[in-house]
Amino acid sequence: MLWTAKVSSKGQVTIPKPVREQLGLKPGSQVVFVVRDDRVELEPMKGSILEWYGAISVEGPQDFKAVREQTMAIVAEEVAHEGQGD
């Protein structure tokens, strides 16, 4: 099936009811947007980040403050580029 929706001035889109029902989306459900070329796929988010705990093994002590600061710098740079139309 094909459904359309209009993007609001705030960038919001209402997911059509048949799509919400098919995906089992309820108020408060989280979704994931996957961008592939010029397409966007919407998927229900299943589970939580806590399910990934221990998925990557590390050796020795970790400097999580440095990791957090580096991550924040990367995100800030990406947000700055978005504002420039890149």
Looking at residue 54, its amino acid is: G
User: What's residue 62's pLDDT?
Assistant: 85
Pick from 25, 24, 17: nearest CA to 1: 17
pTM for the model: 0.52
The number of CA neighbours under 13 Å toward the Cβ of 33 is: 7
User: What's residue 73's pLDDT?
Assistant: 93
In tens, the pLDDT along 9-65 reads 999 999 999 999 999 999 999 898 888 889 999 999 887 777 777 777 888 888 889
Distance CA 48, CA 30 (A): 10
User: What's residue 85's pLDDT?
Assistant: 60
Q: How many residues does the chain have?
A: 86
What integer is the mean pLDDT of 75-84?
82
